C-alpha cells in the first residue's frame, strides 16, 4: 500500500478533506491515506512548507505527499510534482516546496499539465479535489512524473529570511512558525548555534529585547511558567514556556526578532 499524506488548510468542519480522500480511493483503492494536518493557518504557505519539510523524510521512498495551501487557486499559478529522495510532492507552485528545495536533493520536478490525469470536471475553486488528488492517485499507481507535464525549469519559492550576523558577534533570526503549544520555532538552526559557540562560550537568547537565558536541554530545566530556549526536534532553535505558551508570553508578531548574543 502506497502512503499518500495530506497537508492542507481545509480544517475539519467542512467536506473538503473527505472529498479529496474519496477521489484518491476511487482511483487508488489500495492507497493508505495519512492525515498530517488540516489545520495549516489559512493561506499561510510558509506554515505549510515548514510542515511538509519536516514530515517528508519520515516516510518511505515511494510515498506521495499532497500539500494544498492555495490562495491562488483558479488563477495563473501552476501545479507541480517534485521528487525528493524517492518521495513525491504534489502541490501548487507557490512556495510550498521551498524548504524541500533548500534542504533536500531534488531528483525530478515537472509542471502538472496533462489533463488526462485530472477529473473530468475541474472546479475553479477546488483544485485539491479535482487536480491534485487524482494526480497523486495516478502517481501512487505508478504513472511517471514525465507523463504529467514538462520539466519545470524555475519554481516559485518563498523568500526566507536567513539569520544575520551582528556587529557584536551574535546572530539575529526570526520566528518562522508557532506550533500547537505556542512554541516559537526560529530561523536559527542547530548548526548556526554550534558556529556561534565556536566564537562565544556564553550565548544568551533574546526575544526582541527580552532575555530568555542560555540554551537549555529540556523544558523542565526552568520552572513552570518560565521561558526556555532549546534545540527542538526539527533541529531549530525554539523558545517555549514550560507548561505555557511562548506566543502569548512574548506577544509575538510577524516582526518578532530572535537574537543570540
More confident residue, 160 or 206: 206
Q: Is the pLDDT of residue 15 over 90?
A: yes
Residue 129 to residue 243: CA distance in whole angstroms: 39
Q: What is the mean pLDDT of residues 129-144?
A: 98
CATH number at residue 70: 3.40.50.10790
Residue 147 to residue 220: CA distance in whole angstroms: 52
Do 16 and 141 lie in a common domain?
yes
Q: Does any domain span residue 156?
A: no
Residue 198 to residue 200: CA distance in whole angstroms: 6
> Closest Cα to residue 8, out of 77, 69, 88?
69
CB-side neighbour CA atoms (13 Å) of 64: 27
Q: Look at residues 90, 115, 147 and tell me which one is the last residue of a structural domain.
A: 147
Contact between 114 and 152 under an 8 Å Cβ cutoff? The reply is no
Which cell goes with 35? 492525515
Q: Does any domain span residue 154?
A: no
Q: Does any domain span residue 31?
A: yes
How does strand 106-111 pair with strand 164-165? unpaired
Structural domain harbouring 91: 3-147
Residue that the C-alpha cell 505555557 belongs to: 244
Q: What is the mean pLDDT of residues 114-124?
A: 97
Which cell goes with 210? 527580552
Q: Is the pLDDT of residue 201 over 90?
A: no
CB atoms near residue 48 (< 10 Å):
29
Q: Does any domain span residue 159?
A: no
Q: Does any domain span residue 62?
A: yes
Q: Does any domain span residue 155?
A: no
Helices vs strands, H then E, count in the chain: 7, 15
Do 172 and 131 lie in a common domain?
no
169 to each of 1, 98, 255, 260, how far by Cα in Å?
Answer: 51, 29, 22, 9
Q: Does any domain span residue 205?
A: yes
Q: Does any domain span residue 224?
A: yes
Condensed to tens digits (0 to 9), the pLDDT of residues 61-118 reads: 999 999 999 999 999 999 999 999 999 999 999 999 999 999 999 999 999 999 999 9
- Does the predicted TM-score (pTM) go above 0.85? yes
Do 138 and 250 lie in a common domain?
no
> Closest Cα to residue 49, out of 185, 149, 145?
185
Condensed to tens digits (0 to 9), the pLDDT of residues 34-62 reads: 999 999 999 999 999 999 999 999 999 99
Do 32 and 102 lie in a common domain?
yes
Q: Look at residues 147, 180, 195 and tell me which one is the last residue of a structural domain.
A: 147
Do 91 and 33 lie in a common domain?
yes
User: So what's the pLDDT on residue 189?
Assistant: 93
Q: Look at residues 147, 179, 204 and tell me which one is the last residue of a structural domain.
A: 147
Q: Is the pLDDT of residue 200 over 80?
A: no
Do 142 and 171 lie in a common domain?
no
CATH number at residue 255: 2.40.30.90
Q: What total number of domains does the chain contain?
A: 2
Amino acid at each position: 500500500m502506497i502512503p499518500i499524506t495530506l497537508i492542507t488548510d481545509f480544517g475539519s468542519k467542512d467536506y473538503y478533506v473527505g472529498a479529496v480522500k474519496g477521489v484518491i480511493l476511487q482511483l487508488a483503492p489500495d492507497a493508505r491515506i495519512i492525515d498530517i494536518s488540516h489545520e495549516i493557518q489559512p493561506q499561510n504557505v510558509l506554515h505549510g512548507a515548514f510542515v511538509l519539510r519536516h514530515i517528508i523524510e519520515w516516510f518511505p521512498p515511494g510515498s506521495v505527499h499532497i500539500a494544498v495551501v492555495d490562495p491562488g487557486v483558479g488563477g495563473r499559478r501552476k501545479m507541480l510534482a517534485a521528487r525528493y529522495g524517492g518521495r513525491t510532492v504534489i502541490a501548487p507552485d507557490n512556495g510550498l516546496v521551498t524548504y524541500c528545495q533548500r534542504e533536500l536533493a531534488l531528483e525530478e520536478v515537472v509542471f502538472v499539465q496533462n489533463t488526462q490525469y485530472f477529473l473530468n470536471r475541474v472546479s475553479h475553486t477546488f483544485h485539491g479535489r479535482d487536480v491534485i488528488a487524482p494526480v497523486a492517485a495516478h502517481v501512487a499507481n505508478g504513472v511517471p512524473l514525465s507523463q504529467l507535464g514538462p520539466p519545470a525549469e524555475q519554481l516559485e519559492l518563498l523568500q526566507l529570511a536567513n539569520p544575520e550576523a551582528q556587529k557584536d558577534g551574535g546572530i539575529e533570526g526570526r520566528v518562522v512558525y508557532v506550533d500547537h503549544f505556542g512554541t516559537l520555532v526560529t530561523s536559527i538552526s542547530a548548526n548556526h548555534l554550534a558556529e556561534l559557540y565556536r566564537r562565544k562560550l556564553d550565548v544568551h537568547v533574546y526575544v526582541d529585547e527580552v532575555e530568555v537565558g542560555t540554551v537549555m536541554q529540556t523544558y523542565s530545566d526552568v520552572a513552570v511558567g518560565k521561558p526556555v530556549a532549546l534545540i527542538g526536534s526539527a533541529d531549530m532553535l525554539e523558545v517555549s514556556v514550560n507548561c505555557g505558551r511562548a506566543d502569548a508570553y512574548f506577544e509575538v508578531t510577524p516582526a518578532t526578532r530572535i537574537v543570540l548574543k
